[in-house]
Structure formats: structure tokens, C-alpha cells
Amino acid sequence: MAGELSPIDKAKFVAAKRAAQFVEDGMRVGLGTGSTAAWLVRCLGEMVRDEGLRIKGVPTSTRTAQLAREVGIEVISLDEAKWLDLTIDGADEFDGELNLIKGGGGALLQEKIVATASDQMVVIADIGKEVETLGAFPLPIEVIPFGWQTTQALVEETLISMDVLGRTSTLRMNGEVPFITDEGNYIMDLHLNRIGNPRQLSLVINQMPGVVENGLFIDICDAVIIGFGDGRFEVRDINEGTVDRDRVDFVESDNVFSDLTD
């Protein structure tokens, strides 16, 4: 059955499966958004169902909230939780300092709020997300719809003056209409190619009126779990480097895996 998943999906599953081991009974857990985080939510649902794991989950999007409820995870709001033990989420890119680009699925705002409210943030990603320098993946920024073209012009002008705008910025679309985030905002994708100083860029972008948040996660991620298509994983800690390397055995496991491939 494992053969029916593509290597990239296997890599995502492997990272999620290993990350689920970070979750302990009684924890308040931030649940990320995206295809990799969805594997994690399913793995946790299986642990709730089969092992009696008791957790409270704070989802980072309506999509994740729906999936979490479907698999039997108790869902609470961030304000109910107030503070989280752990957030596990995917990423679009991560570099050697575990800085991230996120927001490929448009959930960056809630994701950043939730990750920042957590004792620990663990990123799960397939090996294809590792980069030397952030920026090949377009950087998403969330902007309010009012005057978005004016905001776009201001962003472009500022980035050109900083010499970082590679090509252009584009409004993310959902077919013929703008993509709308869970908070009712738009997403603008900045095609930068290379972000030399992500910390500075993040600060500058967030200064601009109309910008709500950007997809650079600087000094937020504590560890990344990298999955490979052949079942291997590597756990890389921000302070200690690689702390674990092993593989997930597809044969013995996994209801959650076989449920999805049946």
C-alpha cells in the first residue's frame, strides 16, 4: 500500500509520524496547516483513538480545524488555550538557521500567532524544502483588501530600493477572484529569488501600512524533522544539530497511512 503514495507524500508522512512522538498526554498543541501538517493531524487522531492520548489542539486554519474534529482531536481556540506546549507545522522553505518561509497555503497569519504562543515549534518537511538561502519560494505577505494596489506599489518600491525584488509581486488568485484568507485578507506573493537578510526584510515589510504579516518565520522554529521518500527521517535541533536519524517502517504501521491509501 505504501507504494501507492508518491515519494514526496511518503517523506511528508515520515516527518509527521516522527513529530507525533513529540506530543505527550495532556499537551496543548498548535496544529499547522498544509499537506504535511494534515498527516500530523491524522497521526495524532490515530493516537487519540487507539492509545487514549488526551490533547487539546489549536488549529491554524479552518481547514485544519475541520480535519482535527473529523479525526477526533479536541479543538479549542488560542484564547482558551492561552499558551501552547508545542506547535507542529509544515513550511515552504527552511534554511540552516531554521528560518522559514511559510504561507504557501495562505495560513501564515494564524500560523505565526500560534507558533509564537508556543513553548516549542517543530517544523515537519520533506527534504525538498531545505535551502541554503531563502527566497526561491515566493514570499507570501497578507495584506488587507482596502487599497491593496497602493500597498503593492509601496511594497515593490521599497523592495526595489533595498535591491531585493527579483521580478515582481503577484496577487494570489482563486480562479477569477482574489484568494481570501481565513481573516478576510488578500495574499501577495513576492518573487524575490534570494533573501539575503530575512530578519531585516521581515521587519521592513511589516512596517508598511496595509501589510498584516509576512511569511518569514525568524527565530521561531526550534527543530525541523526532515522526511525522505524512502522512509528515513532526520531530526535537526536549532542548538544541537542533528539529534536523531532513523526510518519509519511502513510495513508494521499505520492505520492512518493505510486508511489513506486504501
Ligand X SMILES: O=C[C@H](O)[C@H](O)[C@H](O)COP(=O)(O)O
The annotation places the binding site for substrate at 33-36, 89-92, 102-105, 129
Active site residue 176: no
91 lies in the site for ligand X, by CB under 6 A = yes
Closest distance between ligand X and the C-beta of residue 187, in Å?
9
Could you give the 3-state DSSP secondary structure of residue 43? Answer: helix
Beta strand segments in the chain, E:
28-31, 56-59, 74-75, 86-89, 93-94, 100-101, 121-126, 139-143, 169-171, 173-174, 177-178, 186-190, 211-214, 216-217, 223-227, 232-237, 241-247
Of these, 102, 112, 172, 236, which contacts ligand X (CB under 6 A)? 102
59 in contact with ligand X (CB under 6 A): no
Task: Name the segment binding ligand X (CB under 6 A); options: 104-112, 178-186, 193-201, 232-240.
Answer: 104-112
Q: What residues between 28 and 47 interact with ligand X by CB under 6 A?
A: 32-37
Q: Give the CA angle between residues 142, 148, 151 to the nearest 5°.
A: 85
- The sheet with strand 216-217 has its strands ordered as 93-94, 100-101, 216-217
Residue 214 C-alpha cell reads as 509576512
Please identify, using beta-carbon distances, which residue of 8 and 154 lies nearer to ligand X. 8
CB nearer to ligand X: pick between 48 and 108: 108
The residues facing 87 across adjacent strands are 30, 121
Active-site entry in 93, 111, 142, 213? 111
105 in contact with ligand X (CB under 6 A): yes
Q: Which amino acids are annotated catalytic?
A: 111
User: What residues line the site for ligand X (CB under 6 A)?
Assistant: 32-37, 89-92, 102-108, 111
